[in-house]
Amino acid sequence: MHTFTYSIIKNAVDIAIVSYLIYRLLLMLKGSKAAQVLVGIFIIFAAYILSNVFNLTALHWLLNNFISSIVLIIIIVFQQDLKRALAYVGKGYFGRANFQTNEVKEGIKQVTEAVTELAKTRTGALIVFERNIGVKEVIDTGRIIDAVVTKELLLTIFNTHTPLHDGAVVIKGKRIIAAGCMLPLSQDIQYHPTYGTRHKAAFGLSAETDALIVIVSEETGKASIVVDKDITIFDPPEIIKPELSKLLGVSS
């Protein structure tokens, strides 16, 4: 009886873990081209099973050869998503940054004020808040600043007459770590007439990390937040503050 109960509990835990992993995978792939590829792979597996059941020799041989390389195909197609998942495991749960709430609040306040001013003058900006997953590769592409974030400093950096205005600013807590940083450009973004290079860069970083990216658009003068491959537009820009507070885990 004891062995039977243990077996049931073990199987239940096993199924729960696998179900959770599949659920998290589907959440990561939601809305991306990778999700469509995953559906295609499932269809191929179904066709493989049916070809065996109905003894379709040629089709079965073709699909069998394709499926033998499926692991390599999955690694190539889902390399960004796999990289992000591994980063969550290695960094997200064991290397979480520990900032004081007041520090984060002050950083949000300064960024909100700067974004409001930049939006009024339609000055483009790209601001990255590092969260659980580190963005050292992005920081290494820019210039180290390591200064307390202020509205004035952000306005200076994104002034079109300064050499760093085209890149992104990376913020940790209430400090600007680097400026003039280059982000990976995403090709997995739906066309929109007001989306430019900054939007592609924001989506590109969002696909690889859990960073929160703030965009100020030159074309529309509106502010946006990109996180987890999802974009939210804020008009007027000053209403961005409560959302920043919520996403960064502090009360507004």
pLDDT tens, per residue, the chain with 252 residues: 567 677 888 888 888 887 887 776 666 665 555 666 777 778 888 888 888 888 888 888 888 888 777 777 777 766 666 666 666 555 544 444 455 678 889 999 999 999 999 999 999 999 999 998 889 899 999 999 999 999 999 999 999 999 999 999 999 988 999 999 999 998 777 667 778 899 999 999 998 888 999 999 998 899 999 998 899 999 899 999 999 999 998 876
The per-residue pLDDT for 110 is 96
The per-residue pLDDT for 45 is 84
The per-residue pLDDT for 35 is 64
Residue 174 near residue 104, CB atoms below 8 Å: yes
The per-residue pLDDT for 92 is 45
Q: Any idea where the domains of the chain sit in the sequence?
A: 2-92, 101-247
The per-residue pLDDT for 93 is 45
The per-residue pLDDT for 62 is 86
CATH superfamily of 101-247: DNA integrity scanning protein, DisA, N-terminal domain (3.40.1700.10)
Bridge-partner residues for 147, per DSSP? 176
